[in-house]
A and B are shown apart, each in its own frame.
Chain A
């Protein structure tokens, strides 16, 4: 089946630094990808919709300058958390929609210290 590969699976960074998370569709082309954030014991919250070759669409309350999304090719979308702070520590998950249902990455556990 369709696979979405997400890297890294976990990352620890210092406050004030930036972290890039990659999401690749391995055997299909994804013109659209979705980025979610999940805090402990909570559900997934949609952050933004990534569109190949155009600007991402952000959900209400999500800072576009802090969470930079780039979708430069049909198989790669990246999320960069800029100037990370401890409150940005979370589980970040990407998703794409090949034919049929949605496919999700395995997630990235970000810890900002």
Chain B
């Protein structure tokens, strides 16, 4: 799976939007962009994923660059409960490889009250 690059850490104020960037310049045409987050002492949880078009769900929005070499996870109004490590991961289609999900270092998001 292609590699992703994320900032080590970011800070945000409560109730403000947060934009978490991810670079994936070696992404292939069939790679999906997945975002997971991990709260302290818990397993990761799914946030959102997309292929080419921007995606929205109740948790966040995913903005994907036109060339797909980067993407941005958008939390519209950060809360203290959003403080977590956010992982941007590329995954091939379900039919490919063994289905492994490989984690990078992620971005640690701190939310200040």
**Once the chains bind, are B87 and A107 in contact (CB under 8 Å)?**
no
Query: Assuming the A-B contacts A44-B103, A101-B34, A101-B49, are A107 and B43 also in contact, with contact meaning beta carbons closer than 8 angstroms in the complex?
Result: yes
Does B56 have its Cβ within 8 Å of any Cβ on chain A? no
**Once the chains bind, are B101 and A34 in contact (CB under 8 Å)?**
yes
Query: Quick one: which of B73-101 are within 8 Å of A by CB?
Result: 85, 87, 98-101
**Once the chains bind, are A43 and B101 in contact (CB under 8 Å)?**
no
Query: Assuming the A-B contacts A49-B98, A49-B100, A109-B41, are A102 and B46 also in contact, with contact meaning beta carbons closer than 8 angstroms in the complex?
Result: yes
Does B44 have its Cβ within 8 Å of any Cβ on chain A? yes
Interface size on A, residues (CB 8 A): 25
- Which residues of the partner chain A approach B38 to less than 8 Å between Cβ atoms? 44
**Once the chains bind, are B103 and A104 in contact (CB under 8 Å)?**
no
Query: Assuming the A-B contacts A43-B87, A43-B105, are A104 and B49 also in contact, with contact meaning beta carbons closer than 8 angstroms in the complex?
Result: no
Query: For the complex, would chain A's binding face be called helix, strand, loop or mixed by DSSP majority?
Result: strand
- Which residues of the partner chain B approach A44 to less than 8 Å between Cβ atoms? 38, 44, 103
**Once the chains bind, are B101 and A107 in contact (CB under 8 Å)?**
no
Query: Quick one: which of A76-113 are within 8 Å of B by CB?
Result: 91, 93-95, 97, 100-107, 109
**Once the chains bind, are B43 and A46 in contact (CB under 8 Å)?**
no
Query: Quick one: which of B12-69 are within 8 Å of A by CB?
Result: 34, 36, 38, 41-46, 49
Does B7 have its Cβ within 8 Å of any Cβ on chain A? no
14 A-B residue pairs with CB within 8 Å: A4-B43, A34-B101, A36-B103, A43-B85, A43-B104, A46-B100, A46-B101, A49-B100, A57-B98, A102-B36, A102-B101, A104-B45, A106-B43, A107-B43
Extra contacts, 10 of them, besides A104-B45, A107-B41 (Cβ < 8 A), are: A32-B99, A43-B106, A44-B38, A46-B102, A49-B98, A49-B100, A57-B98, A93-B44, A106-B42, A107-B42
Interface residues of A (CB under 8 A from B): 4, 6, 32, 34, 36, 43-46, 49, 57, 91, 93-95, 97, 100-107, 109
